[in-house]
Chains A and B, each alone.
Chain A
Amino acid sequence: MTSEWEVVVVGAGPAGLTAALVAAQGGLQVLLLDAQPGPGGQIWRGAAAGQKGAAGDLLREVASHPAITVLSGAEVVAAEAGGRTHLLSVTSAAGLRHLHAERIILATGATERFLPFDGWTLPGVVGAGGLQAMHKGGLDVRGRRVVVAGSGPLLLAVAAGLRRAGARVLAVAEQASLPDVAAFGMAAARLPGKSREALALATGLLGVPYWADCAVVSAGGQDQLQSVTLRRGRREITLDCDWLAVGFGLVPETRVAALLGCPLDGAGAVQVSAWGATGVPGVYAAGEVCGIGGVDGALLEGFVAGCAASGQMERLRDAPRRAALQRRFQRVLERSFALRPDRLPTPSPTTVVCRCEDVRHGQLQPFTDWTAAKLQTRCGMGACQGRVCGPACETVYGWRFGGVRAPLAPLPLAHLLEDPSTLGPP
């Protein structure tokens, strides 16, 4: 009896689910682990196995495949690449456990980029994808007044979803220009199946004002958000609202990859070959950890990495053509929603940048790099370990966040004091 997994897939979103299923179809024993209480990732959060559509089908197939073990509520806190096998340390309610894996497929997805402005720390100011996640987690938004702001196509999906759930979406404020947004729409419409999706989105948003060239100025309220001020051209508009859902694009979640030593590209995503192989032998990556491109790209990359990791190269004949199409889409996405300094919120000296440690813009301005700022101010040293202020500082000051180290997630001291057990295949 071996204690090694043939494949461990980290992340149970569309990319990870596909990769796990495909690798299992190739005859490998697969462990699929994820931090959320159930599989689906952010985009398919709360989807049920067997419900109609791609998500339900995939969830059902993964749940019923005899060679796949699903471990939910488990986070990788440490990772070490080895010659033949790799080691992952995973925390969950069951304690700290070691996993030995011959191959790892990273499908860790992305997180939202937040930018600091006055009032962004008020309860009620949340991520755009964050409010969507909260709603899928059971938050009742019926009749609530919501403003969606920031950048990227996620804003539209969030607005439409919240509206369907009964929220009053007062406006969608996008920092990109209207021609850039239109260029993105045209590129998306050229992808198979996307024009119907876009039409459904547009129908769901009928009557909701969409403001391009629009900057978030500040959020107001005492102990709770009460209003948001936006700037359109030279005019400032203040809207009373219950929720401000704000996000400035997505950032690949590369921490596990960094611990394994996977090289990143200039945009901070994991570098992969056409077959999803990272720079570390036996480690593959798929989905938004390799660059932000949406669910279709994630599904394709999950398929490719699953095939490559299990040696099913004959199934990959059509993949390069489909990948080229996705990459073109991804480039238009990046270009269309590139952040423009003049349309981004401007922090004041007293604006909090690091929420965990209450470090303010005025304290950070004198520094020229992340390490110096961190040493002198504790910026990035709190509970989130720079997950929120890291990408913010990258945009506001141009610092590249570094210094990823274990443990990647907060874990009870008791878990560290116990002897970790090894979780092997059944």
Chain B
Amino acid sequence: MLYPIIWMFFSSFKESRTIFTTATTLLPADWVWSNYVTGWQGIGGYSFGHYMWNSLVIVVLSTLGVVISSALIAFGFARLNFVGRNFWFGVMMVTLMLPHDVVLVPQYIIFTKLGWLNTINPIVIPQFFGAPFFIFLMVQFIRTIPKELDEAATIDGCGKFRLFIQIIMPLIKASLATAAIFSFYWRWEDLLGPVLYLNSPDKYTVSMGLKMFLDSESASNWGGMFAMSMVSLLPVILVFFLFQKHIVEGISSSGIKG
């Protein structure tokens, strides 16, 4: 199962010319570290570090936005009584299954008219309005917390917002972490957003940087491409190992991720 990843890891240490002639042997004959140096120098006039930084900015802003807004919305659905709650919850569940393709073109037009082309706005700002997956996940979590807790807090004179911040938020940490981790993965790996909205190389993300390596294949910097592919996976793999338990719990309770 992991063989392809391991193969890529070792290939990133092979000399560009020999990657394919030695495709079936795993270990490189001599270890070439320079792939990481040439790869890091980047492509399109910017270093790979530049692309990493761009991705990081998008990921951090998006994740903060999506986790905070989803938690607020989830609290509203799970704990507050208001006219039309079931209706809006139903709407949210339907959007959960809606193919993204149907809003792709109009969203592009709207963001273009807003003058947001070649900014990170179209990628980041929608995240501040919650994501149905995460909202649903958090609603499920909040429902497991006994309602008596709310009642006790309310009797003590605690308002709804304080109830949310001081009582509920600390109790749903696990689901907040799950949402944050998945948001991190999806934004880090996102290609469609950057392809559509970012068109100057100084704004490119890691995905776009890798795509540029692929497009300039004729330069045959295979080693560099493999090395940077590994580098691009590093944060994802790191997060995976650090938070493995959360991820597995999150996935089995909600079923998210393609």
Q: Do A and B come from one complex?
A: no
